Amino acid sequence: MSNQMKGAYILMESLLKENVDTIFGYPGGSIMPTFDALYDYMDKFNYVLTRHEQGATHAAQGYARVSGKTGVCLVTSGPGATNAITGIADAMMDSTPLVVIAGQAGAAFLGTDAFQEVDLIGCTLPITKWSYQIRSAADIAPAVAKAFHIANSGRKGPVVLDFAKNAQVEMAEFNYEKCHFTRGYIPFTAIKPTQIDAAAEIINNAKKPLALVGQGVILGNAEAELKAFLEKADIPAGSTLLGLSALPSDHRLNKGMLGMHGNVGPNIKTNEADVIIAIGMRFDDRVTGDLKTYAKQAKIVHLDIDNAELDKNVKATAKVLGDVKASLPELTLKIKEAKHTQWIESFHEYEVKEDEKVIRPEVYATEGPLKMGEVVRKISEATNNDAVLVTDVGQNQIMAARYFKFTKSRSVVTSGGLGTMGFGIPAAIGAKIGAPKRTVCMFAGDGGFQMTIQELGTIMEKQIGVKMIILNNNYLGMVRQWQELFFKKRYSSTPMMNPHFNTIADAYGIKNKEVNTREELDAAIKEMFADDKPYLLIANCEEMGMVYPMVPAGETVTNILLG
């Protein structure tokens, strides 16, 4: 019996074969045949109509980050496709698996500057793992299979399928085979015992070891393996921004966040450790500061799935190439049980100093305007530190990362490498859909919130129960902070006149509250968590607040400012 069907239907059936349950998107002319086919599959997919294509990509990112699945977007050609580019680049920087399917002019019109034609392959090749143009219906199923294989294997990332309109309406035979191999693409490398042995020898001789934990641990589902490794060798750990929830916040070996606005202890100790074990992290400049002075006294052991990251920024003494889910247990078998009590206790003086000079004034204030940190702390505690944290970018992001606490993995959704303002609202939508039983708290500044404010319409339509908190200081806060410290307080284009956010929330039918005092805040938090419906809390915070600690850009990590 013939299994012929239109290309658009082949796409739908192919997505089902890949166990796709959610699609984020926005329709348009060149993708219309596919949306017409989607009409017949509404009982099989949860289709989420975002209000902008950038919103679709960020929502797919949030979904992917909390669920571990591949996020899927469906958009049209031209401006629809180019609107998606920010999210694609963001996913590439943060290793988030996405498959973005974009409409395109028919194959016969390619290169003629047809209506809404853009060279999407040319635009996205540098910011994807793979970009491919589907020109015939027979190409659809193999392309989809390959796309999902590439997106969610090895070092994960985004894939773009440029879907010519003629391919959507042509007939072809539907035969689907999952892709497990593609020539020239090697997602996993066999772990070499010699690399494990070399790494183990260095760790076994360490007197002051320090582990740097990145998102690779979470992407590799290696949280239990990380814990076993750290506990056996009694190694303290610092986390990158995206690696924060790999280890529970209250674990005795968790010494906090690394980097520009990280905790004092792990930053100072980076330049005291004799061995640094980097696990699924890439030595980003926000973590290392000045590379000329970074950890020059330490032997570096680097575990990573991507060979391109090894020796890229920091030269490793021992390199372990492979999936940390496999390499960490092998390394744990080879290391000796150890105790580094005195070394671990040496972090304490820095914890006390940071608590006294930074943390207590920020999160336990009793007078004056609301502090961003105290708002974050109170909301985290109201969730028993069990929620998913989603952030926008800026002071809100760093305050949330510093003062929100975590008990479960896959609990931090933020734009790390690209630093995309506007990420917060749509990413929170995706996170709540990806983890519907978890509480999702999204923190944004007044600037970033307005960049994708239209996605309140998506929340309204789907009644997505995200808890949104604007840490409102009427400034582009992080830029203002740099202007204050490094540009002689010349506040160019950072003060903001904002709308009445409550009125906007009312227009979208979203319950909301604006607070100015601590008493109002406590009552509003209680009201916000009274049910699982969407809620917007506007917390008016001190306008000139600063995020400390801070390592000035390009300086040594030990030159950390406390205020």
Please identify every residue annotated as catalytic.
53, 115-116, 165, 478
- The enclosing H or E element of 284 equals none
Q: Which of 167, 79, 92 is nearest to 124 (CA)?
A: 92
183 burial class (0-12, 13-18, 19+ CB within 10 angstroms)? exposed
CB of 278 closer than 8 Å to CB of 212: yes
Q: Is 460 helix (H, G, I), strand (E, B) or coil?
A: helix
Q: Which of 61, 76, 80, 77 is nearest to 22 (CA)?
A: 61
CB of 151 closer than 8 Å to CB of 129: yes
If one counts every other C-beta atom within 10 angstroms of the C-beta of residue 367, the result is 5
Q: Which of 424, 391, 550, 546 is nearest to 478 (CA)?
A: 546
Tokens of 319: 């390199």
Strand partners, 514: 538
Q: Which pairing describes strands 171-173 and 4-6: parallel, antiparallel, or unpaired?
A: antiparallel
DSSP state of 126: G
CB of 249 closer than 8 Å to CB of 385: yes
What's the rounded Cα separation, in Å, for the pair 24 and 73?
5
Instruction: State the amino acid at position 169 in one-letter form.
Output: V
Instruction: Calculate the CA 118 to chain-centre distance.
Output: 28
What's the rounded Cα separation, in Å, for the pair 439 and 464?
11
Number of H helices, E strands in the chain: 25, 20
CB of 127 closer than 8 Å to CB of 92: yes
CA atoms in the 13 A half-sphere facing the CB of 73: 41
What's the rounded Cα separation, in Å, for the pair 557 and 271?
8
CB of 295 closer than 8 Å to CB of 314: yes
- The enclosing H or E element of 444 equals strand 440-445
